[in-house]
Structure 1
Amino acid sequence: MKIRLIVDSTTEIMPEYKDRVHVVPLTVFFGEKSYVDGVDIDHNTFYQKLIESDVLPTTSQPNPLDFAKEYEEAKKNNEACIVIALPAKLSGTYQSATIAAQDYDNVYVIDSGSVAIGTAILVELALRYIDQGLDVKTVVEKIEEEKKKVIIIALVDTLEYLHKGGRLSKSVTVAGAVLNIKPVLSVIDGNINAIGKAMGSKRGNNMLSQEIEKAGGVDFTKPVLLGYTGISNALLLKYIEDSRPLWENDLENLRYSTIGSVIGTHAGPGAIAVAFFKK
């Protein structure tokens, strides 16, 4: 039986995989105005609006019917479904996919435990297993196990958006701006954690690399993906240069993607992130 792989629109699928993955979009709200993520609004437009807006945008999960449409198509084509969704701790997307699955056989919904580029590398690994000819239950079992090893570590360029989102006080935000403090965050098992802070981008880049090693190092036999928020990739390219010793013996080229609304809303433009499977 063929397998249909389904994700939500917060997953940063690389271009070479887009025709193999079915996407169910979230909705992004700027005030009263709504946009279908990835359809009515792309990443560049999102960040332009984010910079111009006085209030943070919000997102709304797909409803169960959005997932049911995909399941129905799969049923017509005699396909099994694997859904890899935003963590239940961060969104109701997983719940919507699960509710819709109750009316169908051969539909498996996985809480990714990650976001954006972290979910993307999990999807790439699932496609690798599918290409090996594994049956749907085996693929699901393997992904449920491997998702525990996915880590995102990110360096945030500005404290402004963490403050707007109510995660930092005004005084801490002002002091951070004066001292050029860059927070380092991790996303592990659906939790976003502050794991350190550095003064300036150079020290921040060094800390990012140190935290990758501290997490257990990178398993280079599995997908690795970098990402950035905002319109410019300049800070990411600087990080890639600064961290070259970390990658140069194991990867021919580092792939990277823009990161959209879920992380971008809280991190703001200028954040850089690394998603990998720990050893």
Structure 2
Amino acid sequence: MNSKIILSADSTCDLNEELKQRYDVHYYPFHIILEEKDYLDNVDITPDDIYKKYYDKKILPKTAAINVSEYVEYFQKWVDDGYEVIHLNLGSAISSAHQNCLLAAQMLEHVYPIDSCNLSTGIGLLIIEAAQRIKSGMKAIEIVKELKTMTEKCHASFILDTLAFMHAGGRCSAIVALSANVLNLRPCIEVDNTSGSMGIGKKYRGNLEKVLKKYTIDKLNSYTNIKKDNIFITHSGIDNSYIELVRDIIKKNADFKEIHITRASCTISSHCGPNTLGILFMTE
């Protein structure tokens, strides 16, 4: 890769260690505030720690974006050494991270924050695109320009197994959560890739196996121009049988070069709870 360009992202990109190493990605963790203690996402706290605390005490953490001074300190070492930095942020519609990153970049030179307009491995898809362009020798400013045109081509959605965590976090009412449980409904959370905001799409009824089958087929059939390079199966902690089920359906319905399996960070998992799974891919 071009040794004078650093590729970086917020921890919410949810890439696994193998992919971070393969694409030489640096990342900075979000903050997880639990019982008045500040943890770093996936550094000194895990999603399973959060789930245990919720089931034991019915407590959920607050999540906090990376602040301006943290970004400045993080980028400074590279800027001082003559590097250019391309950094991908969690969508600005759901976090102040991008705005903070922009403010930090104004204090430095050669730092290029990008609003992914997405979350989780929806950001990861853009990271792969950036890494490939860095490897080809493209200039940083040109890469940034191209990435900004690609955000609307990244498609992210997830099936929630329960609305309990959404309700506990104040993101849906008790009536909605109870109704979904009584009616055996599992909503599909859709990411608006023009802003990064989230909304509820189709509501599936049935057990998780049945729902994941239908959801996966629906998503693969929703576009005629899917880019067949990479697809992510990203989950918040789920039995491997469901992952293999979705992987098999993808293989039968589309010929992707790579199917990546990754687990969501604490920031993402604390909002959706366990047994959440989504497929994320790009269109041409």
User: Fold match, TM over 0.5?
Assistant: yes
**Counterpart of 2:13 in 1: which secondary structure?**
coil
Q: Structure 1 residue aligned with 2:248, among 241, 247, 266?
A: 241
Q: Give 2:15's aligned residue.
A: 13
Aligned to 1:206: 214
User: What amino acid sits opposite 2:203 in the alignment?
Assistant: K
Give 1:92 deviation, angstroms: 1.1
Question: Separation in 1 of the partners of 2:277 and 2:54?
Answer: 17
**Corresponding residue for residue 147 of structure 1:** 151
Map of 1:72 onto structure 2? 76
Equivalent pair of 2:231/2:260 in contact (CA under 8 Å): yes
- 1:191 aligned onto 2:191: no
Alpha-carbon RMSD across the aligned residues, in angstroms, is 2.0
- Equivalence for 1:266: 271
Distance 1:153 1:231, change over 3 A: closer
Contact 1:156/1:270 (8 A) holds in 2 = yes
DSSP 3-state at the match of 1:5? strand
Where does residue 83 of structure 1 map in the other structure? 87
Shift of 1:111: 0.5
Render the CA deviation track for 1:115-142: whole Å, top value 9, x for unaligned: 1111111111100110011000111011
TM-score by length of 2: 0.89
Q: Secondary structure at the match of 1:254?
A: strand
Q: Residues 45-56 of structure 1: matches in 2 within 5 Å?
A: 45-56=49-60
State the secondary structure of the residue aligned to 1:55. Answer: coil
Correspondent of 2:233 among 226, 233, 244: 226
Q: Is the 8 A contact 2:7 2:86 kept in 1?
A: yes
Cα offset for 1:232?
3.6
* Equivalent-residue separation in structure 1 for 2:172 and 2:200 (angstroms): 11
- Of 31, 35, 44, the residue aligned with 1:31 is 35
Q: Could you tell me which of 82, 95, 100 is aligned with 1:96?
A: 100
In 1: Cα distance, 2:271 partner to 2:224 partner: 26
Task: State the 1:86 CA deviation.
Answer: 0.9
Matched, 1:116 2:120: yes
Q: Secondary structure at the match of 2:221?
A: helix
Structure 1 stretch displaced more, 122-131 or 161-170: 161-170
Q: Alpha-carbon deviations, 1:171-199, whole Å to 9, x = none?
A: 33223212221111111220111111111
| Native 8 Å contact 2:154 2:282 kept in 1 | yes
**Unmatched runs of 5 consecutive residues or more in structure 1:** none
Q: Which moved more, 1:264-273 or 1:67-76?
A: 67-76
